[in-house]
Every structure is written in C-alpha cells, then in structure tokens.
Amino acid sequence: MPSSERSPSTAAAAWPRWIAHRGAGRRAPENTLAAFRHGWQLGYRAFECDVKLSADGEPYLLHDDTLERTTSGRGPAAAADWASLSRLDAGTWCGPGWAGEPPARLAALAAFANAEGLHVNLELKPLPGQAEATGQAVADAVRRLWQPGTPPPWLSSFQPAALAAAAAAAPELPRALLLDALTPGWMDQAQALGCQGAVLNHRLVDAEVLRGLRARGLACWVYTVNEADRADALWALGVDRIITDTLGP
C-alpha cells in the first residue's frame, strides 16, 4: 500500500497505550538501538525518540544540542558529520555494560521498526536554526525507509516550523504538536498544522484541555509520566497514550 493511502486515524487506534521514552526510558542508553532492543524485550511495542540532523544532513537520534552528556564526543552536535558521530560511544555514560553502543541513524531504527512492526513517535528535535531542514529531511527519510505495512511513525515537535516542513514534504504522516506550556491559540495551531493530536507535558492536562482536544478530534498524548498514581489519574481523565521512562508493560 502506498504511504499516501495510510489512514492516520486507523494508525492512531492501533497504538499501544504505553510509549517508551527515548527507547527504553532510564533503563538503557537513550536514543540508541540497544535501548529499542531492550524496550522490546521489556514488552514495549511503541517508542519515542529524538531526531536531528548531522552536519552532513543524516537524520540520527540525539536529545541534546551537545554531545557530552550521552556520548564520548564533546561540543556542539552541529559540528559533527555522520562519519564522526558513528564512531562515538553512546552507551558507556549509562553503564559499562552498554560500552561501545554507537549513536543510531534513523535508517537503522527504520530497519528494526520494519522487522518488528514497531510503533514509533519521532520527535523532531532540530538543532538551532534547523527546524525546516529537519522537518523536511526526516519526513523524506520516513517515506524512503518505512515499509508499507509498518505503522507510519508519528512526527511530533515543540517547533511548529518543523511540523509545517514535515507536512509539506509528507502530508500523509501523522503529526502532533508538543507543548511544555500552553500558549495562546495552541489548539488552533495544532489544527492549522494538520495535526492528529497534541503531546503535552502531563502537568498541563485537565478535563477542560481534554474537552477542547476532543471537540477538535485531536488525540491527547502525555509525557513523561513515571509515577503509577499519576498515570492512573491520567488514564481516568481520558488521555490516549502515556510516554514513560519507567511504567508500562
């Protein structure tokens, strides 16, 4: 089936309720293939991760704008091309048992997603000044890399410009506006971007927010929920999906 014939609403309904943050939350080196494999072994079938571009335009997984927290590299990620990034150790910071795990290219994640039928939420996490380039490049890559029959990834971002660029490049891919604070007109903005949902900091969600999203036909996903009591309250409130470091299957 061509990707343009995929139905976002059908895809949304099929998503598991729990989404592993950055691959396997705090239990493996974030945004690496080892984390996805570990999350899979733990029983997760849906995953969030952060995607940005190397200096030579390769989409890969990294949260920060700098390399030192989660890799053996130093300095701004913007300076590094994929050849140099691919030689880094992105595992040791998480524990010696993960030593040697490299950063993950989006292409490698796609191969795993295609093989296992994973549900993946790709957070567009552009380096400064790269919102449009990142949205376009990731959307193009998803079209190229994700096979028909594999659930289409949801693209989310705190940066509307990244979502707009992704929408222009691959309008059939489901999108969600990410928010860490409610801004004036945010629901209208999500609709204008053609989003299927919003991914909200869980502290922002209440019954009124959910009513507004429902009235617009928008899904409500929340991050990052790591307390079971809080998760129970959010399920009771009616959120659709929870992104977590520690809870779930």
- Can you tell me the distance from the alpha carbon of 109 to that of 221, in angstroms, rounded to the nearest whole number? 22
Instruction: Give CA 41 to chain center in angstroms.
Output: 19
Encode 220-249: b = buried (16+ Cβ within 10 Å), e = exposed: bbbbbbbeeeebeebeeeebbbbbbbbbbe
Instruction: Establish if 31 lies at the interface with ligand G3P (CB under 6 A).
Output: no
Instruction: Establish if 131 lies at the interface with ligand G3P (CB under 6 A).
Output: no
CB of 199 to ligand G3P, least distance (A): 6
- When CB distances are held under 5 to 8 angstroms depending on the partner's kind, the choice from Mg ion, ligand G3P, none that residue 240 binds is none
Instruction: Establish if 156 lies at the interface with ligand G3P (CB under 6 A).
Output: yes
Q: Which member of 25, 31, 44, 50 binds ligand G3P (CB under 6 A)?
A: 50
Q: Which member of 48, 58, 101, 240 binds ligand G3P (CB under 6 A)?
A: 48
CA nearest neighbour of 64 among 52, 47, 82, 46 = 52
- When CB distances are held under 5 to 8 angstroms depending on the partner's kind, the choice from Mg ion, ligand G3P, none that residue 243 binds is ligand G3P
- When CB distances are held under 5 to 8 angstroms depending on the partner's kind, the choice from Mg ion, ligand G3P, none that residue 101 binds is none
Q: Give catalytic residues, as residue numbers.
A: 21, 63
Residues that bind ligand G3P (CB under 6 A): 21, 48, 50, 63, 123, 156, 178, 199, 223-224, 243
Residues that bind Mg ion (CB under 5 A): 50, 123
